Amino acid sequence: GAGVSQSPRYKVAKRGQDVALRCDPISGHVSLFWYQQALGQGPEFLTYFQNEAQLDKSGLPSDRFFAERPEGSVSTLKIQRTQQEDSAVYLCASSHRTVASGEQYFGPGTRLTVT
Amino acid sequence: AQSVTQPDIHITVSEGASLELRCNYSYGATPYLFWYVQSPGQGLQLLLKYFSGDTLVQGIKGFEAEFKRSQSSFNLRKPSVHWSDAAEYFCAVAPGGGSNYKLTFGKGTLLTVNP
């Protein structure tokens, strides 16, 4: 079956622009996660959804970052007024369970470059 | 908060040689432990995970890992490396309890395989 898909795969934004990154999780997966992976680093947790509820947004670096999953399926990560430090790969993952024992399946990521 | 250290940034091995990738974690209790692999342009793929029980865990692609509580380590091993194993490997931990979905990753170890 289809895995987690993300679009666009690459995005170049000028500093100050707003961007929206999309994640299509595996069908039926309850949990959805966003991670940020800076160059040369491991992924860092941003936020967690269980169905349409955003249960944890403790990793969002600033109030310029906003995520939503209105119907409990597709999710969008929005970054307002992008800054150079926002340049990173943004990874989405989904899981059929709500606990750590449920494997997180990762998408290929969106590489954001802010110029 | 938990943390993960992968002491080796880059390892080179010859095809057919054995492999051990090191991972140390910091956490007050026994965490959930994971190893992921990331190939260029691909999403992270789960190799194996440890929650409890037998401290030697078998994973996919012939990998195994051993949890050693006394050393706070969870090293990944493979007896004979194949050229297709060249990739970046990430160790990750999740806390027990209610936030057990929240993965904390190490910075990764890049594996190069020489023919």
Angle made by CA atoms B35, B115, B48, in degrees to the nearest 5: 10
Q: Is B42 on the interface with A (CB under 8 A)?
A: yes
pLDDT tens, chain B, 115 aa long: 789 999 999 999 999 999 999 999 998 777 899 999 999 878 899 999 998 888 999 999 999 999 999 999 999 999 999 999 999 999 999 887 667 788 999 999 999 999 9
Bridging pattern class, strands B109-114 and A31-37:
unpaired
Name residues of chain A where pLDDT drops below 50. none
Q: Cβ B102–A93 below 8 Å, yes or no?
A: no
Q: Cβ A108–B43 below 8 Å, yes or no?
A: yes
Nearest to A34 by CA among A114, A107, A84, A101: A107
Give how far Cα A83 sits from Cα of A59, A67, A76, A87, Å: 17, 17, 19, 8
Tokens representing B9 are 């940034």
Q: Cβ A56–B92 below 8 Å, yes or no?
A: no
Rounded CA separation B55/A99 (Å): 21
Kindly list the residues from chain B whose CB atom is less than 8 angstroms away from the CB atom of residue A91: 43-44
Query: Which helix H or strand E contains A66, and what residues bound it?
Result: strand A65-68
Looking at residue B51, its pLDDT comes to 86
Looking at residue A20, its pLDDT comes to 98
Q: Which of B32, B46, B101 sits opposite A48 (nearest CB)?
A: B101
Handedness of CA B66, B43, A106, A109 (dihedral sign): positive
Q: Is A93 on the interface with B (CB under 8 A)?
A: yes
Residues sharing a CB contact under 8 Å with residue B30, sequence separation 6 or more, in sequence order: B52, B69, B96
Kindly list the residues from chain A whose CB atom is less than 8 angstroms away from the CB atom of residue B104: 45
**Secondary structure letter of residue A103 according to DSSP:** P
